[in-house]
Structures are given as C-alpha cells and as structure tokens.
Structure 1
Amino acid sequence: MTRFLRQYTRLAPVPLAPEVLLHQADEPIGLWEDTERGAGTQQPPPFWAFAWAGGQALARYVLDHPELVAGRTVLDLATGSGLVAIAAARAGGTVTANDIDPLSLAATEANAAANGVRVTCAGGDLLDGPPGADVLLAGDVCYSREMTARVMPFLRRAAAGGALVLLGDPGRAYLPREGLTARAAYDVPVTEALESTTVRHTTVWQV
C-alpha cells in the first residue's frame, strides 16, 4: 500500500469537504492495472483512491451536522478511501469503517492517520448480519444491480431497527427511491476520467 500511495496518489483536500485530506489518484487506469499485476488476479476497481460524489456529499452533510453522529457508534459501509468515516470521526462519532477490499482498509488507516482521527477498520462482508451501530453511513453504494440488491435490504433493516441511516448518491441508475427522504443536495466536483463529467448533482438520502 505504501508503494501505491507514493506512486499513484497525493495527499490533497477533498473538493467538497476540504477539512479532510485524502491520498487521491489523478489517473485510475494505471493504478487499477498495477493492483491486478501485484495481486496476480482480477481485482475490484481502486475505489479507495478517489473521493466519489456520494461520499463527498455524505461527508459534507455529517461535518455540517455533527450532532447526528457525536457520541454515537457509526458504521461506514463500503468505506472506500475512508472519507465518510473520517468525517464522522471528526464530528465526534465512534467510527468503524468496513470494506471487503484490504487495500481500501489500508488506505483508510493511512488517511485517518493523515487527519489525526481514530477509525476502527473491519474487513469482510457484513450485509447478512446485524447492523450493530447507532448510525449507518453509505456513500455511492448503488453502482451496480448486484450491490444494490444486497446493500439496500441491509440498510432498511438497520433503519427499521432504529438506526439513523444516511445514503449519499449521485443519481446512480440502480438507486431505488421508495422509502427514501432527501435531506440535502450538492453539486460535487468529481474526477472526469471516472465520471465523464466534472460535477455530479448528489443527494443525501435518509432511509
């Protein structure tokens, strides 16, 4: 991970949440190819190396409304770079960041250290188990039909059990709108190489 961070990323402020610094990549393809070469097998995209629109919006919302997470246990699902987890930690939450990608968790640890906050990292797939937190945060998780079909029931169970569940989404095609209440919206600067645009209109939804 140290080699990837040095070779492909630079520590820079997040556009919509400049209070947070992340190791961010400018060019996704070379990084993705290198992670696959290093692993010797097909790897997921390097979600951990970019500040995705849904995560940026959710981080901004949490930073602007710290009372939502302060003093509460928080699970950041599919944490990617750790952006949302770091924002929640800055806002006073006791935060666990979850991802199935070990590189994501390593990047989250490095990013949390760069921001001087404490985030507990948890690997593995949690979607069949209990939510186990007062607040669930999920940024940009509805990017595929398969992911949406698994993550939305988990988030709805958490909400039904009394957790505050917030979802940041930039209009992905698979997001189901039923049972969602819009809490905020932002025009989020994004990486054109990933999104084919420079700005994504992004909504923070409560489940």
Structure 2
Amino acid sequence: MTSDVKTSDFIRSHTRLNTPSAVPELLLHLADEPIELWERTEQERGDQLPPPFWAFAWAGGQALARYVLDHPELVRGRVVCDLAAGSGLVAIAAARAGAARVTAVEIDPLATAAIAVNTAANGVDVTVTLGDILDGDAAGAEVVLAGDVFYSRPMTERVLPFLQRARAGGARVLVGDPGRAYLPRALFTTVAKYDIPVTQALESADTKPTTVWELP
C-alpha cells in the first residue's frame, strides 16, 4: 500500500460498512474476524504489524461514544482530542455532537486511514494526527476522550500521566473501559455504565459491562 488511495481501498475491501451495536446512529467500516484481517494486512504490507484495532468497535469506545451522543453538552462548541482513536468512533461521535474541533490521534497509519474513511462515511470533519503524543500534553484540547486504553501495563504507564497532565491543564478527561486489568479505578469517578454487545471473537463474551469514567 504505497498511497492513501490504495490504503483506503484496502480498508474498504476488507471490512463492511456497519453500525456499532451500542451506537446505531453512526457507521464504521468493521471487520468480521480479527486474525484473518491481521494476516491479510501483514501479507499486503510484507511486514509485521500491530493488531488491526481500527477495524473493530471496542466496548470502551462504544460506551464513550454513546455517552457523548447522549450528553452533547460535554463537547458542544469545545475542542476535543480522541486519544488512541482506533476506528475514530469516539471522534466521530464528538463531531456529530457539535464539537468545535475534533482531533483523532493514532500511531498506526492504517488506523488514521480508517478514521478518514469512517469520518467520510458519517459526513463529519475530524482532524487526524499520526504520531505518539503521550510524552507531551493535550495541545489545548478542552475535552480529552480515550476508549479502551488500559489494556496493558506499559500502555497505562504512558497514558495515565498524559491524561493527568491534560486534566491539570483544565481539560475534562473521560475514558471508556470494560473492566481492563490495568485501569486505575481509584483515580477515576464513575459517570455512566452500559452493557455493550460484543463479539466472541474479540472478547470471549456476548456482552461487556462497560463504564465511562472521569478524571476528577
């Protein structure tokens, strides 16, 4: 995949335009099976790549997107950063809810391409940033949103200080999490709870109890 056009074509040809289970107002290009897509991606690129997180609507992101759409006052007229954006679901929800500007941040080039394809499918405007910003700050964002970011200790050790700096800088910080092992629950306040339908292939379950948390 040597061009943006070819990358976008790859995403469209290996996914189906569908509605996330908890956020039927929105559309995403989603894959049916993670391992098969991962193998196809590596074959196409001739390289070892991270799992295709961008091709699935994870429970934490769905809960966060649901909360944003149900409470548009959270983001309306504000500058929003969607951290580790994956498919762009949360960023798209923020844009749909009336945010003044939304930036979706990802380190995976395929994810940034998927976000562009998904934002086009939903007719919203989202700025996509490719790069690791975790050693910096929220760059003026008034609301920072992060779905499913506490899935490993190394990730948590980098994400948590970033979120704390964003909060110290005056941003509201909300995360969506379906009970991942490394979520520092004691540091957050519960905002909302959802039962999110998920697939056995991703979660070995049909439903994941998922919480939206805020950093006070």
Is 1:21 aligned to 2:27, yes or no?
yes
Q: CA RMSD of the aligned region, Å?
A: 0.9
| Structure 1 position 37, deviation (Å) | 1.8
| Structure 1 position 160, deviation (Å) | 1.6
**1:90 alignment counterpart:** 96
**1:51 alignment counterpart:** 57
User: 1:73, 1:147 → 2: CA distance?
Assistant: 24
Moved more, 5-14 or 41-50: 5-14
SS at match of 1:178: helix
User: 1:7, 1:172 → 2: CA distance?
Assistant: 31
User: 2:39, 2:9 → 1: CA distance?
Assistant: 14
**2:123 alignment counterpart:** 116
Q: Deviations over 1:108-151 (max 9, x none)?
A: 00000000000000010000112120000000001111111100
| Structure 1 position 2, deviation (Å) | 3.2
User: 2:10, 2:205 → 1: CA distance?
Assistant: 26
Q: Deviations over 1:57-103 (max 9, x none)?
A: 00000000000101100000000000000000000111000000010
User: Aligned runs of 1:36-185 on 2, under 5 Å?
Assistant: 36-93=42-99, 94-132=101-139, 133-185=141-193
User: 1:38, 1:157 → 2: CA distance?
Assistant: 39
Q: Which amino acid aligns with 1:108?
A: I
| Structure 1 position 162, deviation (Å) | 1.1
Runs (4+) of structure 1 exceeding 3 A deviation are none
Please point out which of 7, 11, 16 is paired with 1:5: 11
User: 1:51, 1:41 → 2: CA distance?
Assistant: 25
TM-score when normalising by structure 1: 0.97
Q: Which amino acid aligns with 2:105?
A: N
**2:209 alignment counterpart:** 201
Residue identity over aligned pairs, in percent, reads 67
User: 1:99, 1:42 → 2: CA distance?
Assistant: 18
